[in-house]
Amino acid sequence: MSTAIDDLIRGLYEAPPDGFVAARSAAIADAKRAGDAVTAKRLAALRKPTVAAWLVNLLALRRPELIDELVELATAMRAAQRSLQGDELRELTTQRRQVVSALVAAARKLAVAEDPSLTSGKLPLAEVEATLTAAMAEPEIAEQVQTGRLIRAATYAGFGEVPRPRLRLITAEDDEPAAGDEADEEAAEEDDEESAEPVRLSARERAAAERRRRERAQRVRELRRELAQAQAAESRADAQLERAEGAERDAGHLVEDLDAELAELERRRAEAQADVARRKLARRTAERETAAARRRVGDVQAALEDLEAEDLE
């Protein structure tokens, strides 16, 4: 069942990537104002998708039946490869090209409907095609595509990060004997002492035994104070570690967002350069046509003047 946070995340990945960072920041701020630290942390972990990833996400979120068809076809192709059914494999290969082309066209249509300023020349459709083809080859990539939360064009290199182990601070509590064990040891010591003592202890021996008991009690109190201090230090270290991990994660997300924006700017720069080249060619063509037209005007004017001069004669 869809929840409010799931709907919010879906909306982030459905909208054009240009507004992702601002929308995510606003959602995090709302969650913090509501005192929902869990949601705020979950939202902070989201990454901005590239334009190609956004196009694939649109397909997965708006036309999931097309992605399901792609997955079913990929399963059939793998089965044909295992059974070495050449004719069937060739037919499925042709069908694969048709399905991928249809999905790329559907992605373009969805993007233009979402943002009418987009055109095919501004969309990385080749990356979309590569991602869908990769999804057919690798079930893991297909699963990523189906989530509708891709952050970049898929490759065969795989996904995910190796989780880091959480460390535990070892305290004095690990080496300290349990209270019951200590009592047993004391009882055993006293039994040994009693078996070695005469029936009646001297005042001197009783004083020595009492001193040892006080020393042990004092040592227990000291160890308990050290344990409390160590546990407090562990709590402070855990909190510091969590803050450091959050700061590292935020910094990593910022780098990823900037990388995505840089890639988009590089793509737009290349398009602008190509447009400049086209316009320069058009300008040169217009200059040639203008020069030819001026020459023609001059020729016509000269011919007209000659005719007028003849009439005067």
- Is 158 in contact with 177 (CB distance < 8 Å)? no
Residue 282 CA: distances (Å) to CA of 213, 277, 287, 289: 102, 9, 9, 10
Q: Residue 12 and residue 3: Cα distance in Å, rounded?
A: 14
Which residue is it, tokens 């001059």?
Answer: 298
pLDDT tens across the length of the chain (313 residues): 458 888 999 999 988 888 899 999 999 999 999 999 999 999 998 999 999 999 999 999 999 999 998 888 888 888 777 776 667 777 777 888 888 888 999 989 998 888 887 766 678 888 999 999 888 888 888 898 999 998 888 764 433 333 333 333 333 333 344 444 444 444 444 444 444 444 446 788 888 888 899 999 999 988 888 888 887 887 787 677 767 766 777 677 677 777 777 777 888 788 888 888 889 888 889 888 898 888 888 888 888 877 877 777 6
pLDDT digits (tens, 9 = 90+) for 108-145: 999 888 888 776 667 888 899 999 988 888 888 889 89
C-alpha to C-alpha distance for 138 and 132, rounded to whole angstroms? 10
Q: What is the pLDDT of residue 200?
A: 47
How is 197-254 classified by DSSP, letter by letter? Answer: S-SS--HHHHHHHHHHHHHHHHHHHHHHHHHHHHHHHHHHHHHHHHHHHHHHHHHHHH
Answer for the pair 134, 155: CB distance below 8 angstroms, yes or no: yes
- The predicted structure's pLDDT at residue 309: 77
Q: Which two tokens stand for residue 171?
A: 């305290």
Q: Which amino acid is at 103?
A: L
Nearest CA to 253 among 53, 50, 49, 47? 47
Give me the pLDDT at residue 248, please: 72
What's residue 313's pLDDT?
A: 65
Q: How far is it, in rounded angstroms, from Cα 258 to Cα 179?
A: 57
What is the 8-class DSSP label of residue 172?
A: G
Q: Which residues, at least 6 apart from 23, have a Cβ–Cβ distance to it below 8 Å?
A: 11, 12, 15
State how far Cα 125 lies from the chain centre. Answer: 21
Which residues are CB-contacts of 267 (< 8 A; sequence separation ≥ 6)?
A: 51, 124
Cα(70)–Cα(96) distance, rounded to whole angstroms?
Answer: 8
Q: Name 237's Cβ contacts closer than 8 Å, sequence gap at least 6.
A: 169
Residue 139 pLDDT: 87
Give the pair of three-digit tokens for residue 2: 């869809």
Instruction: Specify the length of the chain in residues.
Output: 313
